[in-house]
Amino acid sequence: MASGYNAKEEDGHHSGAPGNGGGAGAVKSKKPDNTAFKQQRLPAWQPILTAGTVLPAFFVIGLIFIPIGIGLFVTSNNIKEFEIDYTGVDASSPCYNCARNFSWNSTSSCTCSVPFTLEQPFESNVFMYYGLSNFYQNHRRYVKSRDDSQLNGDQTSLKSPSKECEPYRMSDGLPIAPCGAIANSLFNDTLELYYVVNNSKTPVTLVKKGIAWWTDKHVKFRNPGGNNNLTVAFQGTSKPVNWRTPVSELDPTDPENNGFINEDFIVWMRTAALPTFRKLYRIIQKKADLTPTLASGRYVLEVSYNYPVRSFDGRKRVILSTISWMGGKNPFLGIAYITVGSVCFFLGVVLLIIHHKYDNRNNSADIPN
Amino acid sequence: MDKLQHRKQVSKLIYDRTPMDLAELAVAEAVRMKPLPGNRTATCVTAEGWADASKLTWEVRANSRQHYRRCRKRSFLCFRWGRCADNAVRSYKYSPLTFLPLTLFEQFHRVANIYFLLMVVMQSVPAISSLRWYTTAIPLILVLMVRGLKDLASDLARRKSDSQINSQSCDVLDSQRFCTVMWKDLCVGDVVRVHKNQIIPADLLLLCSSEHYSLCYVETADIDGETNLKYRQALSITHNELTSEPSEKGLADFDGVAFCEEPNHRLYTFRGYLRWRGEDHVLNNEHILLRGTVLRNTEFAYGLAVYAGADSKILRNCGKLRVKLTHVDRLLNKVVIGIFVFVLLLSFFMAIGHGVFESQVARDAPALSALTPNGDFIYSAFLTFWSYVIVLSPLIPMALYITFDVVHVVHSLFINWDVEMRWEKNDSPARARNTSLNEQLGQVGHLLSDKTGTLTQNHLLFRQCCIAGRIYGDASISVEETQQMDLSWNPFASGQLFMSAPELVQQLKARRCPFSKEFFTALALCHTVMPERSKEGIAYKASSPDEEALVGAARDLGWVFHSRTRDNLTVLELGVTREYRVLAHLEFTSQRRRMSVLVREPGGGLKLYCKGADMVILERLLSGCPCLEDTERALESFAQACLRTLCVAVRGVPEELWEGWSKILTQAETMATSERDSTLETLYEDMECDLLTVLNTKAMLCTHMQLLGATAIEDRLQEGVPETIEMLRKAGLKIWVLTGDKTETAVNIGYFSKLLDPDTSLLEGQELREILHSADPGYSVSKARQADAWCVNKEMVWAKTALVISGPELAEFDKEPGIGAKLMGLAAQCQSVLCCRVTPGQKADIVQLIRKHSSSITLAIGDGANDVNMIKTAHIGVGIAGVEGGQAVQNADFSLAQFRFLQRLLLVHGRWSYRRISFFLLYFIHKTCNFALVNIWFSFFNGFSAQSMYENWFIAMYTAMYTSFPIQLFALFEQDVSAEGSLRCPELYKVGPRHQLFNPLTIAAMLAQTLFTSLVFFFIPYGVFHDSPLDYQTMAVTVSMAAIFCVDAEIVLLTRYWTLFNAIFLCISFSFFFSVTRLTQQPRLFLLAPDDYFFVGVSEKAFADPLVWLTALLAGWTAALPALIAFTVNIIISGPDKHRVHTISTPQLTEFRSKVKRIDSGRRSPRATSRTAGKGDVITSGTARHRGEPLLEDKLTADNGAIDLKMMPRDRRLPPLPPREPKPCEARV
C-alpha cells in the first residue's frame, strides 16, 4: 500500500528537465561551504563505550531498583486493609436474600447487615472503598455514553443531551439529566458502618465530602444555573431510568453536594481503567484524641442493597484501608521493582561472564579478518 | 547518408574506448559530406528518403511568425491545445492558483495518504469512531504540509532556472532586420542568426553560414559529451541562393517550407524535406543545429527554427531518471504492507472477540447490553472491526515516508557539500543526482569500473617516442620529476611536454635526420583535430586525448599544426609555413585500426601518412625495413611501461597511382551506400598496403610504406586510484574492470592499480573455458593449481586468482545456458575480474549477470558514453565528470570528479547512510508499533470494544512532536566512527553488503522487541491499576509516560554521536510531552470544548502522584531493557576485534615499509616483486594465518624450482606504495 509513497518520480523529474534546457546556466563557483554542519563535523560528544563502562549500568540499575522495590513493598505491607465481600453469592452470606431477589425494578430497598471483626486497630485516616468486579466501566460505548457539556451545566445540553447518550438520552419525551449509561448505572448501595460494643451499635462517622478530584468537583461538573434551587434548574428533565430519585435530590441535605456536583456521582463518573476496580466511598477521619480511627473489635456493615451485580457475575466489596504516600495497598509494584532489579543484576552477571569468556577466547585466537 | 549515420552510431556502440575513434569517424564522415561536383546532396533523393514521406507531417513555414503565434501550445489545468511549443522551457509544475489543488491531488495519489484520509473520514462516523478525527488529521496535515513545502521549494528552484534559460538572448529576423529577443519569444518558423560561441536556442535548420559552402562547426558537449567539433552544412540550394544576395533581405524573402517528422527524441536522426521554389530537397541530420549545442569556429550561421522549446530534441530527450528502489526501500515497503495486513487481521480477531464478548458477557450486564447497537452482537462486531482499524491505524508509520524523504535529501546534500569530494582542479564537487539511493551506497558488493577516464586520467601525455629505432625520453621517470626541456625557441611551446630528450631537439633543430622530420610531419598532419587560435596560442579541439597529445607534442617540438581548411592543412615547420593539400582522408574504423591522410606536399609530391595500431602497421611494411627490429623492441618496452603505442609510417605515392586511385574513389563515392562502404574499404586498403608487387610493373618509382617510428603515450592513473582500489578491496568489494581496451593493457593497469596483487595469477582463455565447462569449477581449479607452490590451501588459491575474460569469449559464453551461473560462482571466489574488449552492451550484460546470479548491490562507475548502458543497468550508477563530458553523468545517480572520491562516497557517506537509515527505520517502526500495540492488550480487559489506551491528543502528537526530532537528528548526524576512522578501517564497510543492519532478521528481532515492549507497557500498569481506585484516564497518562520514557531511553542508547542538537532536541521533545499534556488538560480548554479536552485535570494529578511515576519509570525501563542488552552484547562482541586488528598490524608494517624503501629502483625482477609485496599484502590485509604455517616468502624460496614462471605476471614495476601509515582504529562501534 505505502509503496506508492515515494519521492523518486519527482526527483527524476526535476533533475532531468532544467539542467539541459539549452545548456546554459549561471556559472557559479560550486565550492561548498566549509562549515561544521555541512562537513558533518559538528562538535559532538562521542562516548567511548566498552564493556567496562556499560556493564556497571546493570548493577547500578539493580542496586537502585531493589531498594526501591523493598521500600515500596514494606510501605505496602504496612498499610492495613480489610475487605468484605457482600455480594451475597453464598447461601450463608447475609446478603444472599437481597442479592437473589433484587433487581433494578424493585421499588423498595433491601437491607442486610454484614458483621465483621477487625483484628488490628486502624490508625490514621481510613478510606472506605466499594469495589466492583467484572464491571466493564472501560467499555468504549460505556465510556462514551455521557455528555460532558451537560454535566458542566450547559443549558442547551441539559435540554437536548448529546447523541452519545443513547439509549439513555430521552425518557418519555424529556431529556434525561444526567444522560448516558454511566450515570444511569450509578452505584447506589448505601453502606453504613457500626462499631459493636456489647451488642450496642455505635455508628462510625463517614465523611462523604472530599472524595472527588478537585478539578472534577470545581471544573468538570457544574450544576446548571448555579447552585440555587436545583429543582428549578432541573425542571423539564427526567431522571435516569434506573434512578430512584432525580438528580436534584442526590443529597438534599447539602446543596454543595447535590445535583451534578454530588461527589458520589462524580466518583462514579470517573470511569475505572480495568474491569475490577474500587472507588472511594467515604473517609473515616482520624479522631482528635489518641484512640485509633477504627479500634479493633466487632463491626457491622449495614448495606441497603440496591445494586444488582449477580446477572453478570459481578462482585461487590467494601474495603477499609489506611493509606500511605503511595496510596492504598499495592504489593505488585514493590515486587515488580524487586524482580526487575534482580533481573538486571542477574543479566549483569551473565553478561560479565560472557564478556570474560569472549575476551579470553579473543586473546588466544587469531585476529578475525 | 542514413546508412552512414547508422554506421556511425553502430560503431560508436560497439567500439569501446576511443573517443579518438569517434572523432575520427565524425570528421571522416564530415569530410565525406563535402559536396562533390554536381550538387549531389540536394538531388540525391534515395528511395528510403521518400518512402516514409507520409510521416513527415510537421510543417514549418519560414518567416510566418503570426501563423505560429496562433497555434502555440497552451494549457489550462488538464486541457491542452495548440500544436507547436514556444521556445520557453517550463519545467515548473505549479502556478500560484494551481499549487494547492495540484499538490493535494498529487499527494493523494499516494496510497498511504488516501488511507489516512479515509481514517479521518471514518473517525467522524460516531458509530465506529474510537478516536477523535484530529488524531489522524494532525499528523496527516503535517505530512502534507512538509511535502507541499518541499514541492514548492523545488518548483521555485525550477522556475528560477527556467527563467534564466528563457531570458537568454538571440537574434531573430523580424521584417528584414535582425533584432535581439529572448529565447522564450522565439517561434517556430523564425529565421535566427547565431553568432560564434553562442548557444543555439532551438533546433534550427541550417540555411547558410559565414563559412565556405555554408559549413559550420558545433560543439555538442552538452548533448553527448563529445568535445570534438561536428560539421554541419547547409543545403547547396539555400547556400547558393541566400548568400549571393544581401543576406537579410534574402532571408526575409525566404519562403521555404520544411516538412519533417513530428518532434521526437532521436538526437542523431532527422528526416524531412525542404520545399522551396517548387523543388523538394531532402534534409537530414547534417542540416540541423540542435538546441543546446554551441556554434564554434563559425562567425555566424542562419537557421530556420524547426522545433522550439519542449519540442526540441534535447528537451524531448531529458527524460525522467529511472526510478530506482533500493533494497531497503523494498524491504520497508514489504514491512509496511505486512503491518497493514497485520492491522486488518488483528482488527478482525478483535472484532470476533468483541462479538463473543457481546454475546456472552455484555448480554448479562444491563449497563452494557443496552449499548449494543440494535442489540445485535454481529452488527456490533462489524462496527468494532472498523473501530479497530482506526484504533490501530497509528501502527502504520505515516510520517515515516516523509521523514525518510527528508533524510535522503539531507544525506544527498551532505554528499554535495563535502569539500573532500570536490576536485579543486576544475571546481567540481560530488553530486547526488538521485536522492534516494544513499543507503545503498553502503551496501555495494560489486564495483564495476570502466578503465579509461575512470581509473586513468584520460589526460594523455606524450612520454616517449621511437624514431628510426632509437628511443627518446624515459617513461620510468615520473611526470613530476621529468626535467622540462628548453623549448623557448618555439613560440608555440605550451610547456606541457613531459619528455626529456634534448638530443632529439638538437636533431630536429639541426634538421639532420629526415626520419624525425617526417615523423613529426606525420604527427602534425595525420589526425582529425581542429585548431582554435586564441591570443595565448593554439588550442586543439580533439575528442580524443590521444590525438591531442600527439598533435600537441608535435607542436611543442616545432611542427605546429596551424590551421585546417576544407582542403588544406597548414603546418609551421620550425617557423616555416608549409601548406599541404589534403587529397583524401582514409578514415578510421575499428576494423582497420588505423587512419591515413593523403596529402600533396608544397613541393608537389604526394605522400600518405599513416598512423595506427602496431600490429596493423607492422604487417603492412616492406619486409626488411631497416629499423624494424629496434622498433619492435621499443614497442615492447613501451607496453611494459603501460604506455599506449601507435606506429607511424609514411609512403610516397606516385602520381599515376593517385590518378587511378582517385578515379575509383570518385566512382565509389557515387555508389549506393551498401556497396560503397565495402568498396571504400578495399580502396583504402590498397592505398595503405604495400603495393610493391603491383607497382613494380606499373611504375619504376617504387615507394612503399616506410616505418617512421612509434609513439608512446602515458595514460596516467588518476590520483589515488591504487589506494582507493586497495581500500575498497579491503572493504570487501569485488571489483570488476570492464574495458574496451586490449587485454594486455587492462592487465597491466590491473597490476598497476593494485586491483591485482603482484603475485596474483590470471585465469584466462582456454584454461578458463575448460574450468567453466567442467562439472565442478571450484574443484578443477584447486586441482589445476595444486602444482603451484603457493597453493597453501584452497582459499589462498582463490584469493590470488583473477579472471580475465574478453568480449568475444563473453559473447560465446552467453550462448551456452548455465554458464553464467558457473562464471559467477567462479568470479565470486576470485580476487577480481577483468573484462577486456567488451562493448557497451556487454558491459550492461555483465551487470545484468551479476544482478541475476547474486543478491549483491552493483555499482557501475564510468565516464564515457560507452558506460551509459552499464550505469543505467546497475543498482547505482556513478558518472565521472571528467574529460569525456556529460553523457555518463547525465545518466548517473551520482557524479564524482575523480575515481578516488569513490572511497569517501562509499566508505564514509554510504556506510553512514546505511547505518543511519537502517537504525532510523527500525527505530521508527518500533516506536510507532510499540505504543499502538498496547491497545490490543487493553482490549482483553475492555471487552474488545476498541477503547483506546491513550488520550486523543497524545496519539496526535506522539509521532509528530514527542518522538520525531531525536530520531530525525539521529538519522542526520549519527556517526559511529568518524570519517577518518571509516577510511582507516575499510573492513567496517562489510556490514552493508551483508545486509547486516536491515534485513528480515533484524526486523523480526525488532518486532519481537516491539511486542515485548508493548506487553510491558500494558501489564506493569495493569498490575498497579488492577483493583485500585485509580481511574482509566490516569492509566492512560501513565502508559503514555512509560512509552515516552522507553522511546527516549532507546534513542539515548542508539545515539553515539551527541551533538548539541541531539541533546537539545531530546530535551525539547521530552519536555514537550509534559508541557503539551498539561496544556491540553487545562480547565480552560475543557470549558471551551468539553468533548475534545475531557482529560481535564488528569495530568495535574498524575504528574504529582509518585505511584504514577514509579509505574511509568519501571515500565519504561523494563521495556527498554532488551535494547540495553542488545547494546551491551554488541559492545562485548565487537569491541575487542577492532582493537586487535590494528594494534597488531602496526609494528610489523612499519618494519616492512623500511625494508621496502631500500629497494627503490623502478624495475626489478618479477620474483623480487612478488616476494616483497606479497608478504606486505599479507601483513597489511591482516589475513588469518595459523601460527605454525610458514610464511609465503619462505614457501617461495623453498620451492624455488617448482615455481611456474608463467603464473607470475610479467616483469613490471612495483606499484608505488601508498604513503599512508595506518593508524590504530578507534574501537567505537
The pLDDT tens digits for B633-684 are: 888 888 777 777 888 888 888 888 888 888 888 777 666 656 667 777 777 7
Mean pLDDT, rounded, for B381-404: 88
Q: Which residues contact B943 (CB under 8 A, 6 or more apart)?
A: A136, A139, B354, B357, B358, B361, B362, B368
Chain B residue at shortest CA distance from A269: B1031
Residue B450 is among the residues annotated as catalytic for this protein? yes
User: Is the alpha carbon torsion for B832, B833, B836, B838 positive or negative?
Assistant: negative
Q: Which three cell numbers stand for residue B853?
A: 546470479
Angle, helices B777-784/B819-829, rounded to nearest 10 degrees: 50
Picking from B169, B170, B166, the residue whose alpha carbon sits closest to that of residue B302 is B170
Q: Which helix (H) or strand (E) holds B712?
A: strand B706-717
Chain A residue at shortest CA distance from B423: A31
Amino acid residing at B772: L
Selected for mutation to probe chain A from B989, B1031, B1084 (highest A CB count within 10 Å) is B1031
Instruction: For chain A, say whether B294 makes contact (Cβ under 8 Å).
Output: yes
Q: Are B549 and B538 in contact (CB under 8 A)?
A: no
Q: Do B946 and A343 touch (CB under 8 A)?
A: no
Per-residue pLDDT tens over the stretch B213-253 = 777 888 776 666 555 677 788 888 888 877 766 667 778 88
- Residues of B whose CB is below 8 A from A217: none
* Annotated binding-site members of B for Mg(2+): 450, 452, 863, 867
Q: State the pLDDT at residue B516.
A: 85
Sites in chain A below the pLDDT cut of 50: 1-28, 364-369
- Residues of A whose CB is below 8 A from B1086: 148, 219-220
Q: State the pLDDT at residue A5.
A: 33
* Annotated binding-site members of B: 450-452, 547, 588, 611, 644, 739-741, 837, 843, 863, 866-867
Stretch 327-356 of chain A: residues touching chain B, C-beta under 8 Å: 327-328, 330, 332-333, 336-337, 340, 343-344, 347, 351, 354-355
* Rounded distance between C-alpha atoms, residue B883 and residue B866, angstroms: 14
Stretch 121-140 of chain B: residues touching chain A, C-beta under 8 Å: 126, 130
Within B840-910, where are the H helices? Answer: 840-853, 868-873, 886-891, 901-903
Q: Do A328 and B183 touch (CB under 8 A)?
A: no
Q: Do B1090 and A344 touch (CB under 8 A)?
A: no
- Residues of B whose CB is below 8 A from A54: 1127-1128, 1131
Instruction: For chain A, say whether B91 makes contact (Cβ under 8 Å).
Output: yes
Per-residue pLDDT tens over the stretch B1149-1176 = 333 333 333 333 333 223 222 323 333 3
Total-model pTM: 0.78
Stretch 155-174 of chain B: residues touching chain A, C-beta under 8 Å: 157-158, 161-162, 164-165, 168
Q: Which of B190, B450, B556, B893 is catalytic?
A: B450
- Residues of B whose CB is below 8 A from A50: 1131, 1135, 1227
Q: Which residues contact A148 (CB under 8 A, 6 or more apart)?
A: A220, B1086, B1090, B1091, B1094
Q: How confident is the model at residue B43 (pLDDT cuts 50, 70, 90)?
A: very low
Q: Which three cell numbers stand for residue B724?
A: 582507493
Within chain A, where are the H helices? Answer: 8-20, 51-78, 96-101, 140-144, 148-151, 155-159, 181-184, 214-215, 230-233, 263-269, 331-364
Chain A residue at shortest CA distance from B219: A23
Q: How confident is the model at residue B318 (pLDDT cuts 50, 70, 90)?
A: low
Q: Do A369 and B1100 touch (CB under 8 A)?
A: no
Q: How confident is the model at residue B47 (pLDDT cuts 50, 70, 90)?
A: very low
Selected for mutation to probe chain B from A1, A135, A179 (highest B CB count within 10 Å) is A1
pLDDT at residue B349 tops 60:
yes
Q: Do B947 and A12 touch (CB under 8 A)?
A: no
- Among A124-133, B99-108, B400-409, the range with the most confident prediction by mean pLDDT is A124-133
Q: Do A23 and B293 touch (CB under 8 A)?
A: yes
- What ranges make up the beta strands (E) of B138-278? 169-174, 177-182, 191-195, 203-209, 215-219, 229-233, 257-260, 271-276
* Rounded distance between C-alpha atoms, residue B914 and residue B691, angstroms: 66
Chain B residue at shortest CA distance from A130: B1029
Amino acid residing at B61: R
Selected for mutation to probe chain A from B1028, B1127, B1183 (highest A CB count within 10 Å) is B1028
Chain A residue at shortest CA distance from B985: A369
Q: State the pLDDT at residue A66.
A: 95
Q: Do A275 and B941 touch (CB under 8 A)?
A: yes
Q: Do A278 and B336 touch (CB under 8 A)?
A: no
* Rounded distance between C-alpha atoms, residue B154 and residue B435, angstroms: 13
Instruction: For chain B, say whether A33 makes contact (Cβ under 8 Å).
Output: yes
Q: Do A10 and B154 touch (CB under 8 A)?
A: yes
Mean pLDDT, rounded, for B604-611: 86
Chain B residue at shortest CA distance from A32: B417
Q: How confident is the model at residue B1068 (pLDDT cuts 50, 70, 90)?
A: very high
Mean pLDDT, rounded, for B343-366: 90
Mean pLDDT, rounded, for B1050-1069: 92
Q: Which three cell numbers stand for residue B168?
A: 537568454
Q: Which three cell numbers stand for residue B541?
A: 579541439
Strands B801-806 vs B832-836: parallel, antiparallel or unpaired:
parallel
- Residues of B whose CB is below 8 A from A344: 1121
Q: State the pLDDT at residue A227.
A: 60
Give the largest Cα separation in chain B, rounded: 128
Q: Do B1059 and A367 touch (CB under 8 A)?
A: no
Selected for mutation to probe chain B from A126, A138, A140 (highest B CB count within 10 Å) is A140
Chain B residue at shortest CA distance from A279: B1029
Q: State the pLDDT at residue B883.
A: 56
Q: Return the half-sphere exposure (C-beta side, CA atoms, 13 A cut-off) of residue B347.
A: 22
What is the edge-to-edge ordering of all strands in the sheet holding B58-61? B58-61, B257-260, B271-276, B279-284
Q: State the pLDDT at residue B1155.
A: 34
Per-residue pLDDT tens over the stretch B191-203 = 888 888 888 888 8
- Among B462-466, B510-514, B813-817, the range with the most confident prediction by mean pLDDT is B462-466
Q: State the pLDDT at residue B30.
A: 38
Q: Do B320 and A369 touch (CB under 8 A)?
A: no
* Rounded distance between C-alpha atoms, residue B893 and residue B873, angstroms: 11
Q: Do B942 and A17 touch (CB under 8 A)?
A: no
For residues B1217 and B895, which has the higher predicted lDDT (pLDDT)? B895
Q: State the pLDDT at residue A107.
A: 67
Reading phi first (left if > 0) and then psi (alpha if -120 to 50, else beta), residue A289 is in beta
* Rounded distance between C-alpha atoms, residue A177 and residue B887, angstroms: 79
Q: State the pLDDT at residue B1088.
A: 86
- Residues of A whose CB is below 8 A from B1124: 57-58
Q: State the pLDDT at residue B259.
A: 87
Q: Which helix (H) or strand (E) holds B934?
A: helix B911-939
Q: Are B538 and B490 in contact (CB under 8 A)?
A: no
Q: Do A50 and B1135 touch (CB under 8 A)?
A: yes
Mean pLDDT, rounded, for B917-942: 92
Average pLDDT value over all residues in chain B = 77
Q: State the pLDDT at residue B447.
A: 92
Q: Closest approach of chain A CAs to the CA of B419, in angstroms?
A: 6
Amino acid residing at A215: T
Mean pLDDT, rounded, for B397-421: 88
Q: Are A292 and A121 in contact (CB under 8 A)?
A: yes
Mean pLDDT, rounded, for B271-300: 83
Picking from A233, A40, A281, A187, the residue whose alpha carbon sits closest to that of residue B975 is A40
Range with the poorest average pLDDT among A148-162, B411-425, B507-521, B1021-1035: B507-521
Instruction: For chain A, say whether B1035 makes contact (Cβ under 8 Å).
Output: yes
Q: Do A1 and B1094 touch (CB under 8 A)?
A: no
Interface contacts A/B by beta carbons within 8 Å = 388
Output b/e per residue, B720-740; b: 16+ Cβ within 10 A.
Answer: bbbbbbbbbbbbbbbbbbbbb
